[in-house]
Amino acid sequence: MSSQNTTNGAPPTEAFETAIIGGGQAGLSVGYHLMKRGQPFVILDAGARIGDSWRGRWDSLRLFTPARYSGLPGMRFPAPGWTFPTKDEMGDYLEAYAERFGLPVRTGASVKRLTRDGDGYRLECADGRRIRAERVVVASGAHRTPKVPPFAADLDSRIVQLHSSEYRNPAQLADGGVLVAGVGNSGAEIAFELARSHPIALSGKESGQIPVRHGSPPFRLVVRVIRFLGYHVLTKRTPIGRRVGPKVAASATPLIRVKSKELAERGVERVGRVAGVLDGRPLLEDGRGLDVANVVWCTGYVHDFSWLDLPVLDAAGQPVHERGVATASPGLYFAGLVFQFAVSSDVLPGVGRDAGYVAKHLARHAAKGGRPVRLPEPTRRHAWPSPELSRSTE
């Protein structure tokens, strides 16, 4: 339920009981659980369509985990279990998920600032709209700004530069050599694709690789082991999870689909880290300058939560919370954070468990009129979970 207030000719302020910021897998999962509990809410998504965060990736991208483990709570992914959906199929699935459960999503609603407003919150959107909510779930993650080294600006202006977030297909690049900077899964897959039409130099050092062929029977066993560890063992509830879980969650993902052998067979040259610029060309750490016509930066993102104008961030700018509950700001919640509760918290569909916890806490908070609540720890269950194998392709 919403209402509107107009003051002194300013844009009207809509009021909602709960606003969920972000209509990706985390926000939709929270919406599903809130709807099951009869809680009114609205989901605000910056994209023109639900699922656009997936559709905007490069054309050939496929999920690393099979369809059978890629669904959200209440709705399986509509594809054969051991096939690997495309990024567009994932986007369409999220859109169909919202439609199936009638989740109230407002697209084109980019929230740029969140502040306290009395006993509730004020959301300021990029288009000037203002929203007041008694409770807010931040399910958009941090604002992801493509990370490119400062010296990139010193490269010769004739060199085509793209961040992996901008790369779609080889037609975007000029004829000639390509430096792909970064050997995460994004870098490996983009380099492998581009090697069909361009000489490729791939810089950096990967953090290992899964030693079985993607999609093979041994791979299925590896998926099950990783699922169990990521869902049941490496959590904030276990000593080993509290000790090594944050490191595992923050570390680079091993190569999953494209391996070093395949890159070598396709003629990809492996080079060291890019250290700077020499005469307008990329300079490697061994002192060699690369004569290339293109650079694709697969160097990740800078995560920025500074748009949260609230006392809920630590010295490093990261949210302080207990399983997604911001105790320093009652009525504020998070979903889809890295290691929110487990290594699987921010992956498909590991977000479902955390979304359910957040929705349960939120509903009790609403029932108690905003007074603090604490949920009992659930009984441990040893069922196979369903997180996605990797949280990022970077």
Whether the Cβ atoms of residue 64 and residue 42 lie closer than 8 Å to each other: no
Question: What is the structure's pLDDT at 4?
Answer: 61
Q: What is the mean pLDDT of residues 167-187?
A: 97
Alpha helices in the chain (DSSP H): 25-36, 52-55, 87-100, 185-194, 217-228, 239-250, 260-265, 351-367
Question: What is the structure's pLDDT at 232?
Answer: 92
Calculate Rg over the CA atoms of the chain. 22
Question: What is the structure's pLDDT at 379?
Answer: 46
Question: What is the structure's pLDDT at 372?
Answer: 64
Beta strands in 194-348 (DSSP E): 200-203, 269-271, 274-278, 281-284, 294-297, 301-304, 308-309, 332-334
- CATH number at 148-209+254-297: 3.50.50.60
User: How many angstroms separate the CA atoms of 145 and 39, rounded?
Assistant: 33
pLDDT tens readout for residues 240-271: 999 999 888 888 889 999 999 999 999 999 99
In the predicted structure, residue 385 carries a pLDDT above the cut 70: no
User: How many angstroms separate the CA atoms of 389 and 64, rounded?
Assistant: 7
Which residue spans of the chain are classified as CATH 3.50.50.60?
2-145+302-367, 148-209+254-297
Amino acid identity of residue 90, one-letter, is: M
Residue 68, classified by CB atoms within 10 Å of its CB into exposed (0-12), middle (13-18) or buried (19+), is middle
Q: How confident is the model at residue 348 (pLDDT cuts 50, 70, 90)?
A: confident
Q: What is the mean pLDDT of residues 49-56?
A: 95
Question: What is the structure's pLDDT at 158?
Answer: 97
pLDDT tens readout for residues 88-110: 999 999 999 999 999 999 999 99
User: How many angstroms separate the CA atoms of 337 and 358, rounded?
Assistant: 12
In the predicted structure, residue 6 carries a pLDDT above the cut 70: no
In the numeric block, which tokens belong to residue 35? Answer: 């709807």
Whether the Cβ atoms of residue 297 and residue 164 lie closer than 8 Å to each other: yes
- 2-145+302-367 is a CATH 3.50.50.60 domain: yes
pLDDT tens readout for residues 54-91: 999 999 999 998 999 899 999 999 999 999 999 999 99
User: How many angstroms separate the CA atoms of 315 and 307, rounded?
Assistant: 15
Q: How confident is the model at residue 3 (pLDDT cuts 50, 70, 90)?
A: low
Mean pLDDT of the chain: 90
Q: Which of 7-16, 190-199, 305-314 is predicted with the least confidence, judged by mean pLDDT?
A: 7-16
Question: What is the structure's pLDDT at 65?
Answer: 86
pLDDT tens readout for residues 203-253: 998 889 999 999 999 999 998 898 899 999 999 999 999 999 988 888 888
In the predicted structure, residue 142 carries a pLDDT above the cut 70: no
